[in-house]
Amino acid sequence: MDITLSLIKADVGGYVGHSSCHPDLLDKAKESMEHAKQQGLLIDYYVTACGDDLQLIMTHQKGQENEQIHKLAWNTFVECTAVAKKLKLHGAGQDLLTDAFSGNIRGIGPGVAEMQIAEREAESIIIFMADKTASGAFNLPLYKIFADPFNTIGLVIASNMHSGFVFEVHDILENKKVSFNTPEDTYDMLVFIGSPGRYCIKNVYSRQTGEIAASASTQKLSLIAGRYVGKDDPVCIVRSQGVFPAVGEVLEPFATPHIVEGWMRGSHHGPIMPVSVRNARATRFDGPPRVIAAGFQLAEGKLIGANDLFDDPAFDSAREQANDIADILRRMGPFEPHRLPLDAMEYTTMPEVRKKLAPRFQDLD
Ligand code: 13P
Ligand code: 13P
Ligand code: MG
Ligand code: MG
């Protein structure tokens, strides 16, 4: 049975500040999703939030980039924005960059990850959702999951994974894509994906079957809007078991937190902390960046779950490490590399301060 999984997310208002999502927004989104399910547009849905980002997880049979599905998500965000405005939530409608929907939600603010799959006998899916970070934040974990034998032993000892995976990488500045076959293209690929501000892993495919294995959102809000409007706060869908890595192999990269951009005002580096949905609140210095993992089994498109996979003491040590890294980075205050380099900061006073001080700048001899 062919099923399309569409994960569409947006920040339509924070409670309090940019820390989390008000329950009334979740209720409004569920109401809209339920209506679409009753109408037969959706097979199933699951609504959740990571920090201030509202997440619509939908299953249907309309295929990817479907206008009806994208319009449903857009209208849901518009309705939720109305609730956010009534409650005077912070940044109501933040990620909705246009007044009019014209066929596709890409390029108008919300983040999208979609995949059409032939549902397997047992279809294990893990959906990662992050707050206070940027597209590209999943580059490192996706590399570890699908190409690093020190993370994923299946690459070495499971014959159906031994041929490796294909990574589709997008250059989000020049709007180009390139595919790498791992393991043989690994070193070439790392030249690019090690720079996640520009090169983002979009999709991963099994070389054994050609099937889609993972898909991440790569929308960059600042590139779309041409100015700071909030962070991309990306999402990523990963299929698991069988020809794909086991659940534990998919989760393992998050046991050692990596450093991502997007903390405080979208202008700082911070460690990404794996947390339960309940703890997906961006508090300290509006962070630190958080990631949640919602596990599902699909049953004829029905979402059996969510299983809150980071709600587990096995990730306590990762959370402690993330707090330690946060302490160390915070000591640097406004200095790089805690603060992002000048051209990557979402917030800056540089043009106005530079202009004000222009008369005081003198040529060096
Ligand atoms: P299955 O063989 O049940 O897919 O599990 C693989 C495994 O050993 C997980 O660690
Ligand atoms: P969001 O992109 O999650 O709204 O965060 C904005 C921000 O930078 C808060 O410090
Ligand atoms: Mg926000
Ligand atoms: Mg956010």
CB under 8 Å to 359, separation ≥6 — which residues? Answer: none
Q: Higher confidence at residue 47 or residue 99?
A: 47
Q: Is the minimum distance from the CB of 241 to ligand 1 under 6 angstroms?
A: yes
Q: What is the mean pLDDT of residues 11-39?
A: 98
Active site includes 231? Answer: yes
CA 38 to ligand 1 center in whole angstroms: 36
Nearest CA to ligand 1 atom 7: 246
Q: For the full predicted model, state whether its pTM sits above 0.85.
A: yes
Which of 62, 71, 185, 228 is an active site residue? 228
pLDDT for the residue numbered 268: 96
pLDDT band at 359; cut points 50, 70, 90 = very high
Please give the share of the chain, as a percent, with pLDDT higher than 70: 97
Nearest CA to ligand 1 atom 9: 246
Q: What is the mean pLDDT of residues 137-160?
A: 98
Active site includes 187? Answer: no
Could you say which ligand is closest to the alpha carbon of residue 252?
1
CA 236 to ligand 4 center in whole angstroms: 15
Which of 231, 232, 233, 308 is an active site residue? 231
Q: Are 71 and 101 in contact (CB under 8 A)?
A: yes
Residue 60 token pair: 């249907």
CA 232 to ligand 3 center in whole angstroms: 10
Judge residue 38's burial from the number of C-beta atoms within 10 Å of its C-beta, 0-12 exposed, 13-18 middle, 19 or more buried: exposed
- Residues lining ion ligand 3 (Cβ < 5 A) are 11, 14, 18, 52, 91
pLDDT for the residue numbered 169: 97
pLDDT for the residue numbered 348: 85
Q: What is the mean pLDDT of residues 76-92?
A: 98
Please give the share of the chain, as a percent, with pLDDT higher than 90: 88
pLDDT in tens, 330-354: 999 999 999 999 988 878 898 999 9
Which of 11, 131, 232, 233 is an active site residue? 11
pLDDT in tens, 112-141: 999 999 999 999 999 999 999 999 999 999
Nearest CA to ligand 2 atom 6: 230
pLDDT for the residue numbered 231: 66
Atom of ligand 2 nearest to the CA of 231: 2
CA 240 to ligand 1 center in whole angstroms: 10
- Measured CA to CA, the distance from residue 319 to residue 138 in angstroms comes to 18
pLDDT for the residue numbered 227: 65
**Which runs of E-coded beta strand occur in the chain?**
2-10, 44-50, 53-60, 111-118, 123-131, 165-171, 176-181, 199-206, 212-216, 235-240, 259-262, 268-271, 273-274, 290-299, 302-308
Residue 126 token pair: 């893990």
pLDDT in tens, 264-273: 999 999 999 9
pLDDT in tens, 195-252: 999 999 999 999 999 999 999 998 877 677 666 665 689 999 999 999 999 999 999 9
Residue 218 token pair: 């790569």
Active site includes 11? Answer: yes
- Measured CA to CA, the distance from residue 350 to residue 365 in angstroms comes to 25
Preceding omega of 16 cis (within 30 degrees of 0): yes
Computed over every residue of the chain, the mean pLDDT equals 95
Nearest CA to ligand 1 atom 8: 246
pLDDT for the residue numbered 229: 61
pLDDT for the residue numbered 230: 59
pLDDT for the residue numbered 20: 98
Could you say which ligand is closest to the alpha carbon of residue 10?
4
Ligand 2 pocket, Cβ-based, cut-off 6 angstroms: 11, 18, 51-52, 94, 131-132, 230-231, 233, 264-266, 286
Q: Are 54 and 29 in contact (CB under 8 A)?
A: yes
pLDDT for the residue numbered 100: 85
pLDDT for the residue numbered 276: 98
pLDDT for the residue numbered 328: 98
- Residues lining ion ligand 4 (Cβ < 5 A) are 11, 51-53, 131, 233
pLDDT for the residue numbered 345: 82
CA 129 to ligand 3 center in whole angstroms: 14
Probe target for ligand 1 pocket from 120, 241, 244, 249, with the most ligand atoms within 8 Å of CB: 241
What H or E segment, with its residue span, contains residue 83? helix 67-86
pLDDT in tens, 303-312: 999 999 999 9
Report whether pLDDT(325) > 70: yes
